[in-house]
Amino acid sequence: MSSMCHSHSPIAPHLHMTHAYTTLFSLSDDILGKVLSYTSSDDAKQLSRTCRKAYDIALPRALSEISLRWDDDMPLHTIWHPDERSSLQRVAEFCSFMLSDFPRRPLSIRDLTVNGHAFSVVIAIVGRTRQRRFFGGLLMQFAQVFGHATGLERLELRNMDGMFVCQPHISYALAAMPRLEDLTLHSTSIRYIPWSGLVCNLRELAIRHEDEDCDVDEIEGEAFRWAMSQGCIQSLRFLSIPEAGRLLEALNSNITCPTLRNLWVGGKISSIETWPLSFPNVAHLCTTCNLSLSPTHPLVQWPSLDTLICRAYQGYSGLPLAGPVRRLTFFGDYTPDTFSFIARMDPIVLAIDTGEDDDPSDHFYVKDEHLVSIMNSVSSVKFLRINLGHTDGSIDWIIQRARLMSKLPLLGLHIGFQVDYELAAYLEEPQILQAASELTSLIPTLTYISFNQQIMNSEESLVVDEVEPYRFLVTSRQGQTGHVEVLTLDDAEAVEDRLNASTRT
């Protein structure tokens, strides 16, 4: 059999060659290092335990992602062996390990998370404040490691104020990071960062706080204004301030960041008038704001804005934007001002109360009395994602509400709904297929339909099962009724990507 194959195959001569099977470690170190760069840091750590050669080759990748964290429920992890020793002991061992092959090991770090609490002990509690004692020798060791981590690309600093005060060399080292692109400050004051001395070009900056509605004092506002005027910020593409949005009020018309494309703002906000001036090219805006606006706050024009995600709670009904935007995601409270806001935005792609970014057990949904007002507020929507809430177990319930959408030029429709587990048997695949077919008659422009069903325990308000979504493509039409075919997940995602890119033309 094999001889026949050889005689008829043009590659037969190669089958007679003696093959030297390639093992992992027969590759050159350069090639093997390249292969390891595509593995995770954890996988590289496991490989490094197998033999000495593996240790030498895998170590740079194993050291590329380091987390020196400390939380009440998350003990600090060192490179390989987390145990019950104190965080101070483990940080000391980490620093000693990194300095034992200096500067090669620190140069391997690409992604670093540091929590200042891991370098200190609590010596007193006054009210809600914990007074901490830092250890100078340990801080000096860390400053040496940090100072030679010049390959660093991503850095997260948590609770670092005390470390910056006690060891200024940490600040000097930060200023000299040439490759740093992504910086996160979590419960760390902006004022301790040497913004004017940074030699890097930041592309992403996040400023986080523990409190959801963080107050911003004048000093912090001035520090933010100073930071945003520096050269290191002039390549910034993503800015996230989800708890301290009031920092933006410190900016003036002289400070602009034309490269910024994505902005996430939350917390207490009293004005948005300077936002389009400071960030004239932002295309994606996410807000979770607690607005305290003047009734006379003017509507703000923001021509570059393409996508708006608006989480509205406690009576907050949306931003005072003039609109329009191409894509709007909105969920939260509904008031007459909410419907005016949605109408001003006049979106092409609209997601309403889908809860898609939240825990499945805490999804929002549109009540019947609000659905009419929402549908009356929009006229241009081509792709609609909406959560209609609890059904009565019949497709008529879905169709009745979908009739309100029939005036829209919809190409795609995603409907989320919940059904009690006692009624779930009445809304299985045959019934869902029938509903999809009826929707094609009701909305003749439809090309794509998706249903996302959750089975609920209504007595405990819990999601007990998440049914695999049903996705249908309208492939042809006979009269008013369309023929639908079930889509795979990959095909459905491709269709939704195209629908999410829909424009007004």
From 27-41, 205-219, 235-249, 448-462, the region with the lowest mean pLDDT:
27-41
Measured in degrees and rounded to the nearest 5, phi and psi for residue 267 equal 95, -165
pLDDT band at 449 (very low <50, low <70, confident <90, very high): very high
Read off the pLDDT of each residue in 303-322 and give the average, rounded to a whole number: 84
pLDDT band at 55 (very low <50, low <70, confident <90, very high): low
Q: Work out whether the CA dihedral 71, 75, 80, 84 comes out positive or negative.
A: positive
Question: Of 309, 398, 288, whose CA–CA distance to 353 is shortest?
Answer: 309
Q: Output the pLDDT for position 318.
A: 77
| Alpha carbons 391 and 402: distance in angstroms, whole number | 13
Read off the pLDDT of each residue in 144-155 and give the average, rounded to a whole number: 96
Q: Work out whether the CA dihedral 357, 363, 364, 367 comes out positive or negative.
A: positive
Of residues 452 and 421, more confidently modeled: 452
pLDDT band at 319 (very low <50, low <70, confident <90, very high): confident
In the predicted model, is pLDDT for residue 268 greater than 60? Answer: yes
From 33-42, 212-221, 314-323, the region with the lowest mean pLDDT:
33-42
Q: Output the pLDDT for position 360.
A: 42
| Alpha carbons 459 and 484: distance in angstroms, whole number | 36
Burial class (CB in 10 A: 0-12, 13-18, 19+), 175: middle
Burial class (CB in 10 A: 0-12, 13-18, 19+), 210: exposed
In the predicted model, is pLDDT for residue 438 greater than 70? Answer: yes
Q: Is residue 484 domain-resident?
A: yes
* Residues 6+ positions from 428 with CB-CB distance below 8 Å: none
Q: Output the pLDDT for position 263.
A: 98
From 73-87, 126-140, 308-322, 478-492, the region with the lowest mean pLDDT:
73-87
Count up the domains in the chain and report the number.
2
Q: Output the pLDDT for position 122.
A: 80
From 89-103, 180-194, 220-234, the region with the lowest mean pLDDT:
89-103
Q: Output the pLDDT for position 326.
A: 98
CA distances from 7 to 17, 72, 177, 386 (A): 15, 71, 63, 64
- Percent of the chain at pLDDT > 70 equals 81
Q: Output the pLDDT for position 362.
A: 45
In the predicted model, is pLDDT for residue 22 greater than 80? Answer: no
In the predicted model, is pLDDT for residue 71 greater than 50? Answer: no
Q: Is residue 85 domain-resident?
A: no
41, 62, 83 - which closes a domain: 62
Read off the pLDDT of each residue in 114-132 and give the average, rounded to a whole number: 84
From 114-128, 235-249, 353-367, the region with the lowest mean pLDDT:
353-367
In the predicted model, is pLDDT for residue 2 greater than 80? Answer: no
Half-sphere exposure of 256 (CA within 13 A, CB side): 10
Q: Output the pLDDT for position 85.
A: 55
Q: Is residue 87 domain-resident?
A: no
In the predicted model, is pLDDT for residue 70 greater than 80? Answer: no
Of residues 353 and 240, more confidently modeled: 240
- Highest averaged pLDDT of the listed ranges 147-156, 264-273, 410-419, 451-460: 147-156
Please give the mean pLDDT across all residues of the chain. Answer: 83
Read off the pLDDT of each residue in 330-355 and give the average, rounded to a whole number: 87
In the predicted model, is pLDDT for residue 302 greater than 90? Answer: yes
DSSP, collapsed to helix, strand or coil, labels residue 182 as strand
Q: Output the pLDDT for position 461.
A: 60
Half-sphere exposure of 395 (CA within 13 A, CB side): 16
CA angle 60, 65, 68 (to 5 degrees): 125
Q: Is residue 459 domain-resident?
A: yes
SS3 content of the chain, % helix, strand, coil (to 5): 35, 25, 40
User: Range of 9's domain?
Assistant: 1-62
| Alpha carbons 194 and 207: distance in angstroms, whole number | 15
In the predicted model, is pLDDT for residue 9 greater than 90? Answer: no
From 201-215, 286-300, 395-409, 454-468, the region with the lowest mean pLDDT:
454-468
29, 62, 95 - which closes a domain: 62
12, 33, 62 - which closes a domain: 62
Of residues 346 and 62, more confidently modeled: 346
In the predicted model, is pLDDT for residue 392 greater than 80? Answer: no
In the predicted model, is pLDDT for residue 86 greater than 80? Answer: no
pLDDT band at 315 (very low <50, low <70, confident <90, very high): low
In the predicted model, is pLDDT for residue 217 greater than 70? Answer: yes
Q: Is residue 310 domain-resident?
A: no
Read off the pLDDT of each residue in 277-285 and give the average, rounded to a whole number: 96
Question: Of 365, 424, 414, 416, whose CA–CA distance to 393 is shortest?
Answer: 424
End-to-end distance of the chain based on CA atoms, in angstroms? 63
Q: Is residue 91 domain-resident?
A: no
Q: Are 382 and 410 in contact (CB under 8 A)?
A: yes
Q: Output the pLDDT for position 336.
A: 86
Q: Is residue 163 domain-resident?
A: no
Q: Is residue 476 domain-resident?
A: yes
